[in-house]
Amino acid sequence: MKDLIIKETEKTPSVALGTNGVLKIEGRSIPEDAAKFFKPILDWTKEYTSNEIRIDIKLEYFNTSSSKFILEMLRTIENNPNNSNVVVNWFYEEGDLDVLESGQYFESIIGIPFKYIEYEEL
């Protein structure tokens, strides 16, 4: 299995899914076709297993369709019985309650612990 790297665009986040157990998504997620953008990510997470996974999500904004696929990705990782010690680092900009509350919502419906990390506006 190889790492999956997707470069950031104006409408899609950078994605770095590493076989080292670190999965990162960062930027804005407002793709024209969310299903097409997230398909390789979902395919990769279905195949990947590890006894330790850290997921870093740092999205400044994401639309509803992206939210659906982010949740599906997290559920895929959670539901794989070969994955263990999974943690999500959910980054949100100082004062951005919408992004913080989205992370809290995801955490409430899946069984993966989240760590919330506030950062200063750039």
How confident is the model over 44-80, as pLDDT tens digits? 999 999 999 999 999 999 999 999 999 999 999 999 9
**Token reading at 29:** 């997620």
As a whole number of angstroms, the distance between CA 75 and CA 10 comes to 27
Domain ranges for the chain, please list them: 27-91+105-122
pLDDT of residue 56: 99
Residue % of the chain over a pLDDT of 70: 99
Task: Provide the 10 A C-beta neighbour count for residue 82.
Answer: 8
pLDDT of residue 122: 64
As a whole number of angstroms, the distance between CA 72 and CA 45 comes to 10
